[in-house]
Structure 1
Amino acid sequence: MLLPSPHADSDNWTLTTPAVRSPRGAVAAQHRLAARAGAAQLNAGGNAIDAIVATAYALNAVEPWMCGLGGSGFMVIWLAREQRAVALDFQGTLAEAIRLTDYPVDPSRPKTPMGFPGVVDDANIAGYRSITVPGAVAGLDQALTRFGSRPRTEVMAPAIALAERGLQVDWFTTLQIALCARTLSRDPTSAAIYLPDGHPAAPESRLRIPQLADTLTEIAAGGAETFYRGELATKIVADLQAGGSRLSHDDLAGYTVREYTPMMATHRGYTLYTPGEASGGLRQREMLAHAETAMPVPPARPTPATWVAYAEALEACWRQHKIRTGVLAPSARHRDHSDGENGACTSSMSAVDAEGNMVALTYTLLNRFGSGVTLPQTGMLMNDSVSYFDPRPGYPTTMAGGKRINSSNMCPTVAVKDGKARFSVGASGGNLIMPAVTQVAALMMDFGMSLEEAVHLPRLDASHRGSIRVDPRLDAATLAALESRFALEIAQQRVFPKLYACVSGVARDPASGECVGLSDPTQPIGGGATPAPFQLDPLADTPPEVRP
């Protein structure tokens, strides 16, 4: 059955993105300037961990709507000399004093990005009561301290320079702000920054985020200690509690990063490392196992049967996931078509160095612009990760004091073969992340595709919602085969809305040492970077500055 779709044939573009190549390493991110901040660490003699931390901090200043100091996430690291992988879970935690009664279910409100019920006044997705303890600074600091090689002050210098310069507004930035104008308008500090004169900031202007550069400078000097237990912590908690949050000094001071051996999956001679069951990793492992059973020996190139096998595998793993998290009853056939349609959040990045160390990092504010709250004393845009939790009692993801986020779609993946890291890939896009990441990885492993070819190939999206979405660039025979098995939505890959996630990744050829990096073709500000000194855009000072 073919379902009507407003996205079937509305844009007239051929989207491609260039890959960067170097034997000295590569970085890929959803913003080119952030990737260059990371690549500058490689140029200065740093490793892939230095590069990924620099990239992640730089995104605070150039892509603040997706991730930042107020967010949380996962990292997977391959340590080439030690021949081992490490995972870091720096997901957020709920306030110890949180109460279910603060979040009464409101059936008239839309579901959260995780598929849980909406609540009165959208308290779990907007405003101060939607904020969890952010784990990003702890995670980045632990990665750098344990596995990096350069001083924090030098790794963070590009991020501070970008924050001091201010956010250059282009059409894409204006789009992001406009999409969340209603949420941003609820918070006076955010509204003053992003909605000057009550309207989304216009292209060719420049926004100053007050206090952000100072906050980054404090972190560069004092690390996670000042953020969770020092002077910054005092400012953060004061602002949170003034806004009505139940987060306390003890909640911040007690925060810890989980460091552990990643989940492993094997496929066609590769070992894939992901953060595990709290991420999209378990679904990825289940999807690959299902696809390998359906396709024991892959053909030379993908066939209609290949795409059917991928779709069926995604449907099966998503059904099990929804049963595990209590979103779906075991006897139910599928969710409604509206479930899982938010593809607008999170930032993913990857880095590889000449030695073969490789890192995949995904972190997020959850929704675009998170809670919509910018803390006045620090310039930090805060998450809305309370919506990771179920406001109803009795489920595995039900809210409880101090509880850590235990169900996420993020799926940073590092693939190793014959003891060498071959590629890492991740994505942004909520429920769309795992299908996109796993599809790109499967195409590389099943058919020997390069990262560049796999990222540019047409995609499908399936998450057990009653239909699957397919790119019309797939050939007629494939579309017919899929339509014979599923309700089909024909939808283009577009800049907005992103209907197939936003993938980025790096790869390395152990024989030649060539490293490759690229971002999704639908991400106009994304890209890869190779080792070079960091420089601000020479046009950075031309737009007029807008101060709140």
Structure 2
Amino acid sequence: MASSLSRTMQTTKTVIETKGGVVSAQHRLAAEAGAAVLRAGGDAVDAAVATSFVIGVLEPWMSGPAGGGAMMLWRAGEGKAVAVNHGMRSPKGLRVEDFPLSGDGKAGDLFPWDKVVGDVNVQGAKAIAVPGVVDGLGKVHGLYGKLPWAELLAPAVAYAREGLQVDWYAALCIASVTRMLAKDPDAAALFLEDGQWPTISGWTALAEKRLDQSRMADSLDIIAREGARALYDGDLGAAMAQDVQDKGGYLSREDLQAYNAQIQKPLSFGYRDAQFHVMDGLTAGPTFAHAMGDIEQRDLSDKPSAFAAYADALNAAYAARLGTMGDDGESPEAPGCTTHFSVVDKDGNMVSQTQTLLSIFGSRVVSPSTGFLMNNGIMWFDPAQGRPNSLGPDKRCLMNVCPILGEKGDKKFAFGASGGRKIVSAMTQMASFVADYGMGVGDAFHHPRIDVSGAQSVVADEAHAPEVLDRLRADHDVTTAPRSVFPYAFACPAGVMRDGDTNTGCTEIMSPWGDTALELED
């Protein structure tokens, strides 16, 4: 039965059509920063750089310069897709013996790994992996950007100087991990007030509370002036690595200097009369391709059959993913909570970028020298040894990110999502919504979904029709849940679409900050 809230309230997002460019992001001001770049004559890559750095300031618990991720880029003039892998790596000095299994059940964060003593693979300095997002953005900008790098980082520097305003949603996010943030003095100083979550800016918006992000602003200014490699080869990166080591972690200056984001060939495949391009290697791209291949063989003539097919295909794809994927550190061809944004410019170039610290607030450790909140990418590894994705030094992390590019007739779209293991479920269904049912971006984003993330049960949006839920229950243990502001039972997508020369965009309907910004038309 649907909750009383869902019966009395409906949430929608407005979808606006334009001939100009569109940026859809989990924070409105980040989308606006990207749209401003398009107005200034920048292309989709330029807009993506600006959006990435701004969202790292305004949504710092999801992503930032100390994180990693992946980008899919569509080059309209060349008619080709490009993959940019800027995922994280484990430090070379990591010691597996520092992560003993406790024998006390499963970890309590995003992944059901065996629990490690002290949760040191989840929280604290030992959980920090080598970040990659800044190098990835620098490389793609060097290849395809039009506007100067420093101009693109200027909005992020300005927002950091101003400091993030703590509204009700920011306070809620901080409150959800207050106890863990309090364990790191620098994280506590940045996010908490006297060891407690901060007071909000006031229900009437007459009061104003802002985080002090001035140190982060200084660091971003260095990256703006000296380039992306300042975080890897310069004094800034050396200071960040020293901070991590002072707190007991492994990240070294040598790890940063050795880091190299990869421009690589995408995994491209046909699906009925559509075409998809995703990131290959240690991402959710192959899992997405596996699921879509299974769905292609199934009958989707009605919605109950379609969602039964989605559930079966995702279960099979996740079983293959968790049983076989990992990095043994020996293959040079293998490429390495989260936010996503998508961009399309007036010429049809597209970017689908997913970037992350992994957990919400990452490792819950702040580097005092840089002001950056650090990732906990080590949690991506299975702490049990002898498995494909087992924890080890100098290994690529098995990411859950799944930015996609799709083509169906005159429609081209760039979708992606945040949400850990929930991401590939969302992308599989939304890709099918467009490819099999011809949905536009608005219908695809508003349609109820299910989540199948490698567990034994299916989580279904309670807004589904009764016949869909009945069909799912015939073969699966089904739990229903509403789409809500917090917590998210399903992934949080953002995407853009180009139909002919008309561009549209949308974000998760329950995302309080998520929005689409438009380039002004002449």
Question: TM-score scaled by structure 2?
Answer: 0.93
The Cα of 1:164 is off from its aligned counterpart by: 0.9
Q: Which runs of 5+ in 1 are unaligned?
A: 327-344, 534-548
Q: Which residue does the alignment assign to 2:517?
A: 529
Q: Which residue does the alignment assign to 1:542?
A: none
The Cα of 1:265 is off from its aligned counterpart by: 2.4
Q: Which residue does the alignment assign to 1:77?
A: 73
Aligned residues of 1:325 and 1:395 also touching (Cα < 8 A): no
Q: Which residue does the alignment assign to 2:323?
A: 323
Aligned residues of 1:159 and 1:216 also touching (Cα < 8 A): yes
Q: Which residue does the alignment assign to 1:221?
A: 225
Q: Distance in 1 between matches of 2:221 and 2:195?
A: 30
Q: Distance in 1 between matches of 2:371 and 2:213?
A: 6
Q: Can you list the C-alpha shifts for 1:328-367, whole angstroms capped at 9, x where unaligned?
A: xxxxxxxxxxxxxxxxx10011000111100100010000
Residues 199-278 of structure 1 aligned to structure 2 (within 5 Å): 199-204=196-201, 205-278=209-282
Q: Can you list the C-alpha shifts for 1:256-288, whole angstroms capped at 9, x where unaligned?
A: 011111111211322111112311111111111
Match of 1:183 among 180, 185, 198: 180
Q: Distance in 2 between matches of 1:469 and 1:444?
A: 22
- RMSD across aligned C-alpha pairs, in angstroms? 1.7
Match of 1:378 among 363, 370, 385: 370
Count of residue pairs the alignment pairs up:
502
Aligned residues of 1:27 and 1:349 also touching (Cα < 8 A): yes
Match of 2:472 among 466, 470, 482: 482
Q: Can you list the C-alpha shifts for 1:31-79, whole angstroms capped at 9, x where unaligned?
A: 0000001111110011001111110000122100100011000001011
Q: Distance in 2 between matches of 1:122 and 1:218?
A: 34
Match of 1:144 among 141, 144, 155: 141
**Does the residue aligned with 1:294 lie in a helix, a strand or coil?**
coil
Q: Distance in 2 between matches of 1:9 and 1:309?
A: 30
Q: Distance in 2 between matches of 1:153 and 1:20?
A: 31
The reply on whether 1:166 has 2:163 as its aligned counterpart is yes
- The residue type paired with residue 441 of structure 2 is L
Q: Give me the identity figure in percent.
A: 36
The Cα of 1:113 is off from its aligned counterpart by: 2.1
The Cα of 1:107 is off from its aligned counterpart by: 2.7
- The residue type paired with residue 274 of structure 1 is V
Q: Distance in 1 between matches of 2:411 and 2:436?
A: 17
Q: Distance in 2 between matches of 1:10 and 1:484?
A: 27
Q: Which residue does the alignment assign to 2:487?
A: 497
Q: Which residue does the alignment assign to 2:347?
A: 355
The Cα of 1:225 is off from its aligned counterpart by: 2.2
Q: Which residue does the alignment assign to 2:40?
A: 44
Q: Distance in 2 between matches of 1:187 and 1:85?
A: 42
Q: Distance in 1 between matches of 2:472 and 2:134?
A: 44
The reply on whether 1:409 has 2:400 as its aligned counterpart is yes
Q: Distance in 1 between matches of 2:114 and 2:450?
A: 27
- The residue type paired with residue 243 of structure 1 is K
Structure with larger RCO (C-alpha < 8 A, sep 6+): 1
Q: Distance in 1 between matches of 2:133 and 2:242?
A: 19
Of residues 183-192 and 106-115 in structure 1, the stretch that sits farther from structure 2 once superposed is 106-115
The reply on whether 1:460 has 2:456 as its aligned counterpart is no
Q: Which runs of 5+ in 2 are unaligned?
A: 202-208, 327-336
Q: Distance in 2 between matches of 1:114 and 1:149?
A: 40
Q: Distance in 1 between matches of 2:185 and 2:89?
A: 25
- The residue type paired with residue 40 of structure 1 is A
Q: Can you list the C-alpha shifts for 1:469-501, whole angstroms capped at 9, x where unaligned?
A: 111211111111111121111111111110111
**Does the residue aligned with 2:435 lie in a helix, a strand or coil?**
helix
Q: Distance in 2 between matches of 1:303 and 1:256?
A: 44
**Does the residue aligned with 2:24 lie in a helix, a strand or coil?**
strand
- The residue type paired with residue 127 of structure 2 is S
Q: Can you list the C-alpha shifts for 1:387-444, whole angstroms capped at 9, x where unaligned?
A: 1112222111122221111x221100011346x7710100001111110111111101
Match of 1:507 among 489, 497, 503: 497
Q: Which residue does the alignment assign to 2:440?
A: 450
The reply on whether 1:25 has 2:13 as its aligned counterpart is no
Q: Which residue does the alignment assign to 2:459?
A: 469
Distance 1:499 1:27, change over 3 A: same
- The residue type paired with residue 122 of structure 1 is D
Q: Distance in 1 between matches of 2:14 and 2:280?
A: 31
Q: Can you list the C-alpha shifts for 1:196-242, whole angstroms capped at 9, x where unaligned?
A: 12211122111112411111110011112211011212211221111
Q: Which residue does the alignment assign to 1:520?
A: 508
Q: Distance in 1 between matches of 2:253 and 2:422?
A: 35
The Cα of 1:114 is off from its aligned counterpart by: 3.2
Aligned residues of 2:408 and 2:435 also touching (Cα < 8 A): no
Q: Can you list the C-alpha shifts for 1:508-533, whole angstroms capped at 9, x where unaligned?
A: 112xx111111100101101101259
Q: Distance in 2 between matches of 1:376 and 1:422?
A: 43
**Does the residue aligned with 2:297 lie in a helix, a strand or coil?**
helix
- The residue type paired with residue 428 of structure 1 is S
Q: Distance in 2 between matches of 1:380 and 1:520?
A: 27
